[in-house]
Structure 1
Amino acid sequence: MTRTHWITGGIAMMVATAAIGQAQRTAAPNSGPGDIVTTERPGDPARVVLPNVERLFDGYVRDGKMPGIVGAFGFADRPTLFLASGQIADGPKQPFADADSLWRVYSMTKPITGMAAMMLVEDGRLKLDDPVSKYIPAFATMRVAIDPDTSLETRPARTPITIRMLLTHSAGLGYSISAKGPLLKEYERLGVLPATVNAQMEAQMRRVRPTSLAEFANRAASLPLIAEPGTKWSYSMGLDVMGRVIEVASGMSFERFLQTRMFGPLKMNSTYWSVPKSEIGRLATNYAFVGENRTPLDPAATSAFLTPPSFPYGGAGLVMSARDYDRFLHMLQDGGTLDGVRVMKPETVALGMSNLLPAGVSFGGIGNGNGGTTRTAGMGFGAGGSVMLADVPGSASKGTYGWGGAAGTIAWVDPVRHMRGTVMVNYFPGERWPVRQEVAAALAKDAAGLAR
């Protein structure tokens, strides 16, 4: 039997239960009185709230698929349900995973950056169809690669890149994780590498990577586009460039804007660009699968995320707890307000969670290793995340918005059913196990039971 803990309500306490049924209690950060906690003892009423998800999580850990996993699930105005199984790393005496464990969310940073941009749209400081060159002049004259996989030969772009295109991956920008051939070499030469992997790779990347968002954006503008702006969905560094747009439009650093307008008001107190030394004990280890073997890729004790990044990566840079990401989603679910604090207007949230793709552009899903979703039908794209364009019977409603991360994390909010979910794991490739599909199926069964 695996060690499992349930935490319900706004403040969490971890209870780990040994196989013999004797409980050992350990307080999680920010823990306090009033929590409802259940153990593995039969008969505890809250154990059956999400029994299918519980069995799924326990099975993942029991079968050695991952050291640990955490989920945060919200239903209407009920308290958030946190479910966790296992530990944050392999080995004896490792901390149990819980609602306040820290995980690399990688591309789940993108919806946060996207909604930050929507705040500036609400403020009147940005317009969706503004040219990006209004904020970053280097984007005024762009060129498009004729065959980006094989050559750097280019032609002039006919259409200016807009804010809308940055938000929806339709700007024609490429990405170091998918570029090939000579274009990839240019990305590497210029250090246009907006992501952190581990200490060894970080030491190499820092030699060439720019040290500010301003310089990053200017270098990105010097690279050939892979498609004519506004004609094709292609996963990109658009949300990283958006970080620089936010700086220019807001008049403050990207990090300060997010802290002032989002993280602080929403009490997202476990969201970091770099993890403080005092919080290392909460940081999960990131793993890589080599064949059937799982090996530490970025151990917590020596993690590259303990050092401030070269610049804040709006597309892949955050480390967060399940509790904090749930607070972000909860705000979206409730139309821009959480705990009586409004950070966005309902109409702004609705716009950001709508299909913002330029006319004639469709979202066809993405391949492995990038986070997000592999679904290929009935989806559009909003401010940094995918959007369902129609109901899926027994599953997501039209308007469901979300995205995932390269290390396996997933998050979504269904504004029609007033449901949301966050799942935290850390291993490469994120598609090593079908967590997205299996959690959705298990949660649908449990949600049907809650509705009765």
Structure 2
Amino acid sequence: MTDTDPRDLGLCPDRLERIDAWMRRYVDEGKLAGLSVHFARRGKTGFARAHGKADIARDRRFDTETIVRIYSMTKPLTSVAVMMLYEEGRFQLDDPLSRFLPDFAEMRVAVGGNRVKLETVPALRPITIRDLLTHTSGLTYGFMEATLVDALYRVHGIDFQTSEHSLADLVARVAKQPLLAQPGAEWNYSVATDVLGHLVAVVSGLPFSEFLRERVLKPLGMHDTDFFVAEDKRERFAANYAFDRTGQLKVYDDSEGSRFLSPRPVTSGGGGLTGTAPDYLRFCRFILNRGELDGVRLLGRKTVELMIANHLPGDMAAMGQPRFSESAYTGIGFGLGFSVMLDPAKAQIVGTPGEVAWGGLASTSFWIDPAEDLAVVLFAQLIPSSALPIRRELRVLTYAALVD
């Protein structure tokens, strides 16, 4: 609950209760162990509710301070770290990545062949920092299991979530693999943001995790967000679930014994953070405020405006056939760390041109709508994020509550 009268924020109290009923229904039907929804409008929290269990076996309640794995919602925070260095004049967005990471100097692109012999050609141009921010670098993810290049990532142990190797070592392994496409030619979700985390470390001279904590998380007051859950916060850490073959919830990653309970050799800028919904709502408000929150400015307003603009020639669907994304492709573009709504009619979902968003593997998501001065955070713990249509349903319910 909040102390703010929703009507003062242009929200209908009765329609907000539809969101509450929707949340309860998913828990009561056994489709989600628990979930929370937070959103802010005009600088104030207009809705903050949680239902269900954070851990069914231990009968722990899912509440507004529950800590979850945010996975790919780490990416926008890493992108902010990159842009902070950009503002310091450390590089330009069209600089070749190899200026800082020489291993990427002579990249090749896969064009055919088989597992025995992969056919490649030289990259037509270098990978740029902007390519990494927009997922147009030609890199990929091994878990997609769709291409020969994906297979090479698996063969060489390129997994920023589970590896026991260092961030620098994994990025060096990435540089040795061929690209999936020519730089700038296609939109492909990838380890690009993990590479950006290493770039932050190289340019700043600080370990990436230290830079993110000291320069981004702490200044924004995101005190429950980190690459691992501290011992004194473990009672608030949720279990992560998946559906078994009968459609029943089963534990995917226990809240006790999870790899997220201790620091790891690799800190994943693409998907390594845990945190709370109120913390992430603070990040969303920081973006809404064009780089400032509660008197703390991390980015200039023009830099944020550049980040939330579409940097693709059109939508993601026009740049090849994306194999996986935390967003729809049609009517949706991509900025520097966020998806960007271009055309709600083409995307076939209610929304506003210019809103930015992203989500995480375990059914977390957020969106920020500057035109409506609105930010929404949805937290659950169910893998994969495509298992239930909760993101799209929440968008409809939320926009239906706007009545001003």
TM-score (norm 1): 0.82
CA contact (8 A) 1:403 1:410 kept: yes
Instruction: Choose 316-325 or 335-344, whichever is displaced more.
Output: 335-344
Determine whether 1:234 maps to 2:188. Answer: yes
CA contact (8 A) 1:387 1:402 kept: yes
Deviation at 1:153, TM superposition (A): 2.1
Q: What is the SS of the residue equivalent to 1:120? A: helix
Matched to 2:294, the amino acid is D
Deviation at 1:326, TM superposition (A): 0.5
Determine whether 1:400 maps to 2:350. Answer: no
Q: Report matched runs for 1:380-395 at 5 Å.
A: 380-390=333-343, 395=350
Deviation at 1:362, TM superposition (A): 4.2
Segments of 5+ residues of structure 1 without an aligned counterpart are: 1-5, 10-35, 37-44, 197-204
CA contact (8 A) 2:143 2:154 kept: no
Determine whether 1:119 maps to 2:72. Answer: no
C-alpha distance after superposition, 1:241-263 (max 9, x if no partner): 00111112222121121112210
- Give the one of 230, 234, 240 matched to 1:280: 234
Determine whether 1:372 maps to 2:326. Answer: yes
Determine whether 1:98 maps to 2:63. Answer: yes
Determine whether 1:134 maps to 2:89. Answer: no
Matched to 1:429, the amino acid is P
Q: What is the SS of the residue equivalent to 1:274? A: coil
C-alpha distance after superposition, 1:257-306 (max 9, x if no partner): 11122101111001010111221111110011122121101110111111
Equivalence for 1:248: 202
Deviation at 1:48, TM superposition (A): 3.9
- Give the one of 127, 139, 144 matched to 1:161: 127
Matched to 1:183, the amino acid is V
Equivalence for 2:282: 327
CA contact (8 A) 1:272 1:318 kept: yes
- Give the one of 152, 164, 172 matched to 1:186: 152
Quick check: which has more Rg, 1 or 2?
A: 1
Deviation at 1:183, TM superposition (A): 3.3
Matched to 1:331, the amino acid is F
CA contact (8 A) 2:217 2:223 kept: yes
Rounded Cα–Cα distance in structure 2 between residues aligned with 1:395 and 1:339: 31
Output the aligned Cα RMSD.
2.3
- Give the one of 358, 373, 379 matched to 1:418: 373
Deviation at 1:8, TM superposition (A): 4.9
Rounded Cα–Cα distance in structure 1 between residues aligned with 2:81 and 2:154: 28
Instruction: Choose 400-409 or 246-255, whichever is displaced more.
Output: 246-255
Q: What is the SS of the residue equivalent to 1:85? A: strand
Equivalence for 2:299: 344
Equivalence for 1:263: 217
- Over 3 Å counting, the alpha-carbon distance change for 1:49 and 1:270 in structure 2 is farther
CA contact (8 A) 1:394 1:444 kept: no
Rounded Cα–Cα distance in structure 2 between residues aligned with 1:290 and 1:367: 27
Rounded Cα–Cα distance in structure 2 between residues aligned with 1:362 and 1:78: 32
Q: What is the SS of the residue equivalent to 1:155? A: strand
Q: What is the SS of the residue equivalent to 1:266? A: coil
Q: Report matched runs for 1:188-207 at 5 Å.
A: 188-196=154-162, 205-206=163-164
TM-score (norm 2): 0.91
Rounded Cα–Cα distance in structure 2 between residues aligned with 1:242 and 1:421: 26
Rounded Cα–Cα distance in structure 2 between residues aligned with 1:269 and 1:112: 14
CA contact (8 A) 1:263 1:269 kept: yes
Matched to 1:349, the amino acid is V
Equivalence for 2:255: 300
Matched to 1:407, the amino acid is A
Deviation at 1:371, TM superposition (A): 5.5
Residue identity (%): 35
Determine whether 1:445 maps to 2:400. Answer: yes
- Over 3 Å counting, the alpha-carbon distance change for 1:148 and 1:411 in structure 2 is farther
Equivalence for 1:355: 310
Equivalence for 1:219: 173
CA contact (8 A) 1:387 1:400 kept: yes
Matched to 1:231, the amino acid is A
Deviation at 1:132, TM superposition (A): 0.2
Determine whether 1:61 maps to 2:27. Answer: yes
- Over 3 Å counting, the alpha-carbon distance change for 1:145 and 1:297 in structure 2 is same
Q: What is the SS of the residue equivalent to 1:88? A: strand
Q: What is the SS of the residue equivalent to 2:398? A: helix
Q: What is the SS of the residue equivalent to 1:154? A: strand
Aligned residue pairs total: 393
- Over 3 Å counting, the alpha-carbon distance change for 1:327 and 1:215 in structure 2 is same
Rounded Cα–Cα distance in structure 1 between residues aligned with 2:149 and 2:327: 25
Instruction: Choose 382-391 or 58-67, whichever is displaced more.
Output: 382-391
- Give the one of 112, 131, 140 matched to 1:147: 112
Deviation at 1:184, TM superposition (A): 3.7
Q: What is the SS of the residue equivalent to 1:287? A: strand
Q: What is the SS of the residue equivalent to 1:399? A: coil
CA contact (8 A) 1:371 1:407 kept: no
Deviation at 1:181, TM superposition (A): 5.9
Matched to 2:376, the amino acid is G
- Give the one of 50, 54, 57 matched to 1:84: 50
Higher relative contact order (CA 8 A, sep 6+): 2
Rounded Cα–Cα distance in structure 1 between residues aligned with 2:32 and 2:169: 38
Segments of 5+ residues of structure 2 without an aligned counterpart are: 6-10
